[in-house]
Amino acid sequence: MLEAPVKLPEGEDVDLGRPAGAEPAGRPAVACAPPAGRKPANGEDVVSEDAAADEAPMLEARQLVKRFNLGTVNEVLAVDGLDLKVAPGEYVCIIGSNGAGKSTLMGCISGTSPPDSGRTFIEGQDVTVWPEHRRASLIGRVFQDPLSGTCASMTIEENMALAFRRGRRRGFRRGVGRAERDIFRAALARLDLGLEDRLTDPVGLLSGGQRQSLTLLMATLVRPKLLLLDEHTAALDPKTAGLVMDLTCGLVEEERLTTLMITHNMQQAISFGHRLIMLHQGRIILDFDQQAKRRLTVRDLLRQFQGSAMGQISDRLVLG
């Protein structure tokens, strides 16, 4: 049985060998924007632990348990009594080896893979028994596969119309009206991909990077309570992945979106967000807040993981 997660408070040194005062190698943490009530990570104080505890969480998972192939020789305990609280506007990066339970956790939260036991709350509302389609009114999600979030045979504006009407009652009406088209065109212009001039083009004509950018935009077109990003840059080339991450950061910052982002890229996990958690065997074993996260390097993180999980590190986690 694993120990309780190692939660490093702000100001605590996470250095595992770097001389005092030395700057960590690599890119500094990019927090995008601090959650409501927090100051930027510029050397000033960030939110205190007490202040964070007083703020009602946007997401709360209590003792989630999820098994697959129950009662067979292939039974897997994917999520093991997991507890998690995420403050409004907090941007949390989630890392862990293959099979750590990252995507299963997202499935438990979104309703695609309901837990066997435990409870899930979004903005204080118990959504544990809500089906996936009902939770979709509160949650935006982007998957690893750029083809998963859009319909190839439908046009750009038709895909966006579906996203724009998420959670609303639908009936017979004109497909896409002028007012909606103006909204879509303005939203697409921020991508700087020229898609605002291609509203009637089938999505199947777009590149993977264009489709993933469109999917991310659609997931946030109607501001969600919670944004779930499941390795949403893993299938993209490095240049396109960088562009999508810049778009992600901009959207999260402007909308103050509460965000969970799974990544296998340790440097990306260190560089983005306010908080970093590591999963192993369905449990949170490491939890770094923003101040501690800013001092991390990949080497630090690997050493922490080796100490907490007996060194079970996949090549994919190390290499991104």
Domain ranges for the chain:
12-18+24-138+225-319, 155-223
**Would you put residue 113 in left (φ > 0), alpha (ψ -120 to 50) or beta?**
beta
pLDDT band at 70 (very low <50, low <70, confident <90, very high): very high
Position 25 scores a pLDDT of 39
Position 305 scores a pLDDT of 77
* pLDDT of 1 higher than 50: no
pTM of the model: 0.81
* pLDDT of 318 higher than 90: no
Residue 314's φ and ψ, nearest 5 degrees, are -85, 155
Position 7 scores a pLDDT of 54
Compare 168 and 252 and report the one with higher pLDDT.
252
In angstroms, the CA 79 to CA 249 distance is 28
Position 169 scores a pLDDT of 63
pLDDT band at 54 (very low <50, low <70, confident <90, very high): low
pLDDT tens for 133-188 read: 999 999 999 999 999 999 999 999 999 999 998 766 665 556 788 899 999 999 99
pLDDT band at 31 (very low <50, low <70, confident <90, very high): low
The proportion of the chain whose per-residue pLDDT surpasses 90, expressed as a percent, equals: 60
Helix residue ranges, H only, the chain:
49-54, 102-110, 132-135, 156-164, 178-189, 208-221, 238-255, 266-271, 290-294, 298-309, 315-319
pLDDT tens for 268-300 read: 899 999 999 999 999 999 999 998 988 888 898
* SS3 assignment, position 4: coil
Q: At the top level of CATH, which class does the domain 12-18+24-138+225-319 belong to?
A: alpha beta
- What average pLDDT does the chain have? 82
For 35-39, the CB contacts below 8 A with 24+ separation are: 35/87, 35/88, 35/89, 35/90, 35/91, 35/256, 35/258, 35/274, 36/88, 36/89, 36/256, 38/89, 38/274, 38/290
Handedness of CA 29, 33, 38, 43 (dihedral sign): positive
